[in-house]
A and B are shown apart, each in its own frame.
Chain A
Amino acid sequence: MILEWIRFAIAAVLAILGLCSFGSAVLGAYRFGFVLNRMHAAGIGDTAGIFLMIASLAVARGLHMDTLKLVVLVFFLWFTSPVSTHFLGQVEFYTNPLLGRHVKQADLPGQTGEDQTKGEGDGAD
């Protein structure tokens, strides 16, 4: 019986940490002023938040087939979240005319930065 309560305590701590990750992601989405910063906040929720929450559910569920499904779900989200974030960053880079207000010019590929090869940014497909 006491082991069940210890398992519940571990699940509760992991769930609260996951909610804190999601809360910080939403807070960052409201407080950051630029979309690339908001993507950083969204990445916290996409990786740490979903991992902690699914870990809590796996601890609560125990060894079961559904636990395996939830773990596969976490790995799927870990693979797809960087892809969509990279693609959204590409969209912002090519479509925002006021990008220089937020990004230093030396950081941009294809611009005048010394450590960047010329025309690196426009090599996509």
Chain B
Amino acid sequence: MTVEQAYQILYGGVLIVLILLIGAMVIRSIIGPRSTDRIVSVNMLGTMTICSIAVLSVLLDEGYLADVAMIYAMISFVAVLMMASMFVPSKPKAPVLDRDKDHEAAAEGESGGEQK
């Protein structure tokens, strides 16, 4: 086995694992209970997509795919900022918390990710 074949096997396996992780993040972005969970999942998904494009640029020996990965990183960043900015109120105020009530509710029931 030559070194080139070893590199093909290594980065092919890396791509397969990255595809599985991207699928897991797609499922996470579907089941995320709040919008911020979904945006965090989309952010991680974009990072893994950038990584897989970079792996493809070395695996296929195509230099322009590195440029594609850079453009994808910029678009992913702007997309996350725009998705997040849709939920920020124009005049934000710090939330007033009823802490005792919340702690009683958290002590009674498990406070997992069931919030609305």
Question: A interface vs B, CB < 8 Å?
Answer: 4-5, 8, 11-12, 15, 18-19, 22-23, 25-26, 29-30, 33-35, 38-39, 42, 45-46, 49-50, 53-54, 57, 60-61, 65-66, 69-70, 72-73, 76-77, 80-81, 83-84, 87-88, 90-102, 105, 108-111, 119, 121-122, 124
Contacts and interface: CB of A to CB of B under 8 A. Distances in A.
A68 B57 CA distance: 13
A84 B3 contact: no
Given A23-B21, A76-B73, A84-B81, A53 B51 contact: yes
B67 A69 contact: yes
Contact of B54 (A34, A54, A101): A54
Given A19-B14, A105-B99, 17 more contacts: A4-B3, A5-B3, A26-B25, A38-B40, A45-B48, A50-B47, A60-B7, A66-B58, A70-B54, A80-B73, A80-B77, A93-B95, A94-B88, A100-B97, A101-B103, A101-B105, A122-B94
B87 A95 contact: yes
A69 B35 CA distance: 33
A124 B92 contact: yes
B21 A105 contact: no
A38 B45 CA distance: 13
A91 B44 CA distance: 17
Interface of B: 3, 6-7, 10-11, 14, 17-18, 21, 24-25, 28, 34-37, 39-41, 43-44, 47-48, 50-51, 54-55, 57-58, 63, 66-67, 69-70, 73-74, 77, 80-81, 84-85, 87-89, 92-95, 97-99, 102-103, 105-106, 111-113, 115-116
Contacts of A77: 47, 50, 73
A39 B51 contact: no
Contacts of A121: 94
Contacts, number: 185
11 contacts: A11-B7, A15-B14, A19-B17, A19-B18, A22-B48, A26-B24, A66-B58, A69-B70, A80-B73, A102-B111, A122-B93
